[in-house]
Chains A and B, each alone.
Chain A
Amino acid sequence: MDILLDILSWAFLLAGGAFLLIGGLGLIRLPDFYSRMHAAGIIDTLGADLILMGMIFQAGFSLVTVKLLLIGAFIFITSPTSTHAVANAALVAGLEPKLSTDDTESTPAAVESQDVTGLSALPDVQKQEGASSES
């Protein structure tokens, strides 16, 4: 039984460490702020929860498990909230998402006229809203 728990704990800790490394690499390598948030999401949800699960298998039924579950619940709730807050703040401040047409020869006017996702019009609207609320 102990060997089974050890194997499970190893597997969870190794998977969590691998996801942490993947998230860290993505945080370095990805080209855009909005795509870097995916990497941060991997770190916050999958990596953290897998490592906490590995520690729970080592702790057994005790108060330590309750504390670990509490930490997991807090991270599970607060991490998407703070990621959403960062994304909303960046969008309100007018940080443009990097569209795939940016890499080609097209001019900015052509990108605006295409407006595939409608995202490029969004920051301007919210900027006007924020300006009117501050006046």
Chain B
Amino acid sequence: MFIVATLAILVTMALTLARLYMGPSLYDRTLAVNAFGTKTVLLIGVLGFLFERPDFLDIALVYALINFIGTIAILKFWRYRALGDAVQAPPGSDAESDRSATGRR
């Protein structure tokens, strides 16, 4: 029965890769990467059951966390062109308050 689920996941991964290749905008591709990561988690878990090695679930757990962080990192990099604090503004200046307002949104 896990073979059926594996085949379904693999076919859906192929469809997601097609969207990843076609996607007109960056956000389509980000969405496809996010869905692909979720299906990778499922595939690792199902393969662990298929090969009767449940230790694969640890890898799936780690991958579920990394997938989320990766999506947020892609979006943040595309918005600010930097992953850390790119602009070091002095405290109390206009840029500082504007940056805190941006962070609140």
Contacts and interface: CB of A to CB of B under 8 A. Distances in A.
B12 A24 contact: yes
Contact of A43 (B2, B38, B49): B38
Given A59-B54, A82-B68, A89-B27, A48 B5 contact: no
Interface residues of B, number: 49
Interface of B: 1-2, 4-5, 7-9, 11-16, 18-19, 25, 27-28, 30-32, 34-35, 38-39, 41-42, 45-46, 49, 54, 57-58, 60-61, 64-65, 67-68, 71-72, 75, 78-79, 98-99, 101-102, 105
Contacts of A82: 34, 68, 71-72
B60 to A, nearest CB: 6
Contacts of B14: 24
Nearest to A129: B105
Given A48-B41, A75-B41, A133-B101, A24 B16 contact: yes
Return the 5 tightest CB-CB contacts between A and B, nearest first: A17-B8, A24-B15, A24-B12, A78-B68, A90-B27
A67 interface: yes
A6 B42 CA distance: 19
A33 to B, nearest CB: 6
Interface in A1-38: 6, 9-10, 13-14, 16-18, 20-21, 23-25, 27-28, 33, 36-37
Contacts of A52: 42, 45
Interface residues on A, range: 35 or more
B34 to A, nearest CB: 5
A29 to B, nearest CB: 10
Given A21-B8, A86-B30, A9 B75 contact: no
Given A27-B35, A40-B34, A43-B35, A74 B64 contact: yes
25 contacts: A13-B5, A14-B4, A20-B12, A20-B42, A21-B12, A24-B13, A27-B32, A36-B31, A44-B38, A48-B41, A51-B9, A51-B42, A52-B45, A54-B1, A55-B49, A70-B61, A71-B41, A71-B45, A71-B64, A74-B64, A75-B38, A81-B68, A85-B71, A85-B75, A86-B27
